[in-house]
Amino acid sequence: PMTVPSGVKAYYVKAAGSDEVTLTRVPSGKAIPAGQGVILISTSTGTFVMTESDGTNVADLTDNLLKATLNNGTMTFTANDYVLAVKGSGDWKGYFAFCKTAAGTVVENYANRAYLQLSTSEANIRMRFDDDATGIGSIENDADKTPVYYDLMGRRVDNPTKGIYIVNGKKVLVR
């Protein structure tokens, strides 16, 4: 079992629909059980060190759908395997999704990673967090400054084109 470092959240996949999975947060203060796949998220940059737990206070990830790769050997994916990847282009560039692998794809040195193994035929699987990891809480902007535009995913947009944006906490349509 491994202890999650301060400033990092760990998630596992507890439920899957036809085109979406639900990521459930490992409770704070709980260690990740040995051999379990998780996704680690932090809003800080830098290096984080996972430390071995003494085996007490370990989270129960019984229904975890993420598979862990634990050695440096060769990984051969099947038709129902999905890996986490950055997708999109244009305004949607940079979103994460679980993407279907081609059956028989071989990857070398695929250690310390996690992947999904599902019984679905979707090309990409969306992620939904079961806590407050996503969404826009509030956006503040001084009225006398140049307005700052945000897309509906909360990302700052320097050069808005046609579409719906958030400016000063309100939805604005740019034509």
pLDDT reported for residue 42 = 84
pLDDT at 88: 65
* pLDDT of amino acid 89: 62
Predicted pLDDT at 134? 47
pTM recorded for the entire structure: 0.67
Q: How much of the chain, in percent, has pLDDT values that exceed 70?
A: 87
At 132, the pLDDT band (50, 70, 90 cuts) reads low
Q: Is 72 left (phi over 0), alpha (psi -120 to 50) or beta?
A: alpha
pLDDT of 135 > 60? The answer is no
> Contact 100/82 with Cβ under 8 angstroms?
yes
Q: In this predicted model, what pLDDT tens digit does every residue of 52-110 receive, in sequence order?
A: 998 888 999 988 999 988 877 788 888 888 888 877 666 556 677 788 888 888 888 78
For residues 130 and 153, what is the distance between their CA atoms, to the nearest angstrom? 17
pLDDT at 145: 64
Q: In this structure, are residues 30 and 58 in contact, taking their beta carbons and an 8 Å threshold?
A: yes
From the list 38, 51, 39, the residue with the least C-alpha distance to 6 is: 51
pLDDT of residue 93: 61
Per-chain mean pLDDT for the chain? 81
| pLDDT score recorded for residue 139 | 45
Q: What are the beta bridge partners of residue 129?
A: 23
Question: DSSP secondary structure string, 68-130?
Answer: EE-SSS-EE--TTEEEEEEE--GGGTTEEEEEEPPTT-EESS--SEEEEE-S---SEEEEEES
